[in-house]
Amino acid sequence: MTNSKWTTQNSSFTSTGEIWSREEWERIEQETSRRALAAASEDECWEVLTRQARAVMRTYSTSFFIVTRFLPPAKRAQVEAIYAAVRYPDEIVDTFPLTQTQRETLLAEWEERYVAALRAETIRESLEAGAPCFIAGFAEVVRRTDIPREHYRAFLDAMRLDVWPRWFETLDDLIESYVYGSAIVVGYFLTHVYGSPTPGDFNRALRGARDLGVALQLTNFLRDVAEDQRRGRVYLPQAMLRDEGIEEMDAADSEQWPAINRVLRKLAAITEEHYERALTHLDAFNADSRVAIRACIDVYRQLNARVADNPNGILHRESVPMSEKFRVLPASKYWRLPLAYFRS
């Protein structure tokens, strides 16, 4: 699947399907680390890392970049650091021209550097220990917000399932075996940044994050069925396919399209239920983060509806036009968007 965790909407792809090649990522990482190490203070070092992380988000995800502009600056910077830390492993498994063994090796090296960064007490120490700048930035968010350290390992385990794909028998199997690591724990990262009005609200905020993570991931699965299968991946539950008479899915077989589309509509309805439950937990998050969370729900809920109503079948990849995204955003805050693009 193209960018299973996040929506990519950028047309400047290379011939391999990349936005930035692996070599360009490495060049950016090295230059950013050099500038961060030359910074006069930890605060300036943090600013260097988050400025580059912001460029990653702006380049790879129009939708997420827009909705996060409505966060307070300090929280926005932490979310940008999180995004960059999950974006690069996603590129390893999805777009860099590598063998499966090479992808597995790079993920293992990335995890080792994450563990090393956690042993450090500052960003500078992380960088001096050899942590890539995006891991150093994420490790700082972990220290500041008390994100459980094992969550990022669960994320990397899900990335390994993209390298060595398998079928998922039921929806529960899909959610617990893959979606938990690919999207739910990312929602948990964000919940630790967003916070809650009282300690008693935090567990409910985590439940909302789980529902939203499931919804976002399922929406992306539904949109990318054909492309996923070209990558050797099938994320539609096998039991649901068999219920429609499909023993082995072939997204290129036009005779299967009506049955596959029925599965998509069923899953889209389940996904809508997750968006609705996530919305009921919105007040469990701190007030300064609710606009961004609500905008995320509304934008991706639109995408889910478009996929469910798609008249062109699974070979057409749906997206939400920019004009429709703007309709669900708070008009009183539109002024932030051109300013954000100008600064980036």
Q: Of 135, 164, 193, which residue sits at a domain end? A: 164
Whether 43 is covered by a domain: the verdict is: yes
Same domain for 193 and 274?
Answer: yes
Start-to-end Cα distance in the chain: 28
Q: Is 181 helix (H, G, I), strand (E, B) or coil?
A: helix
Q: Of 116, 148, 164, which residue sits at a domain end? A: 164
Whether 341 is covered by a domain: the verdict is: no
Give the DSSP per-residue string, 22-65: HHHHHHHHHHHHHHHHT-SSHHHHHHHHHHHHHHHHHHH-HHHH
Q: Of 164, 192, 218, which residue sits at a domain end? A: 164
Whether 116 is covered by a domain: the verdict is: yes
Same domain for 289 and 319?
Answer: yes
CA distances from 14 to 17, 66, 231, 341 (A): 5, 24, 18, 23
**How many structural domains are present in the chain?**
2
Which burial class, exposed, middle or buried, applies to 198 when counting CB atoms under 10 A from its CB (0-12, 13-18, 19+)?
Answer: exposed
How many angstroms separate the CA atoms of 185 and 192, rounded? Answer: 11
Domain that holds residue 282: 165-329
Instruction: Specify the pLDDT at position 343.
Output: 44
Q: Is 313 helix (H, G, I), strand (E, B) or coil?
A: coil
Model confidence, pTM: 0.87
The alpha carbon torsion through 93, 306, 68, 17 (nearest 10 deg) reads 30
Q: How many CB atoms lie within 10 A of CB 313?
A: 15
What is the b/e burial string over 239-255, where b = at least 16 CB atoms within 10 angstroms of the residue's CB?
ebbeebebeebebeeee
Same domain for 90 and 233?
Answer: no
Same domain for 117 and 211?
Answer: no
Same domain for 173 and 211?
Answer: yes
Instruction: Specify the pLDDT at position 309.
Output: 76
**Selection from 266, 267, 293, 291 nearest residue 278 by Cα:** 293
Same domain for 259 and 237?
Answer: yes
Same domain for 150 and 282?
Answer: no
Whether 203 is covered by a domain: the verdict is: yes
Could you tell me if 284 and 201 are in contact, meaning their C-beta atoms sit under 8 angstroms apart? yes
- Domain holding 250: CATH number? 1.10.600.10
Same domain for 147 and 178?
Answer: no
Same domain for 144 and 234?
Answer: no
How many angstroms separate the CA atoms of 309 and 313, rounded? Answer: 9
Same domain for 104 and 229?
Answer: no
Instruction: Specify the pLDDT at position 70.
Output: 87
Same domain for 212 and 156?
Answer: no
Helices (H), 146-256: 150-163, 171-174, 185-194, 202-223, 225-230, 238-243
Q: How many CA atoms lie within 13 A of 32 on its CB side?
A: 27
Instruction: Specify the pLDDT at position 324.
Output: 57
Same domain for 170 and 289?
Answer: yes
Q: Which residues contact 104 (CB under 8 A, 6 or more apart)?
A: 160, 163, 164
Give the DSSP per-residue string, 310-324: -TT-TTS-----HHH
Instruction: Specify the pLDDT at position 13.
Output: 37
How many angstroms separate the CA atoms of 205 and 208, rounded? Answer: 5
Each residue's pLDDT, cut to its tens digit, for the chain (344 residues) gives 334 443 333 333 343 456 899 999 999 999 999 999 999 999 999 999 999 999 999 999 887 888 888 899 999 999 999 999 999 999 999 999 999 999 999 999 999 999 999 999 999 999 999 999 999 999 999 999 999 999 999 999 999 999 999 999 999 999 999 999 999 999 999 999 999 999 999 999 999 999 999 999 999 999 889 889 999 999 999 999 999 999 999 999 999 999 999 999 999 999 999 999 999 999 999 999 999 899 889 888 988 888 777 755 555 565 555 455 555 555 544 434 334 333 44
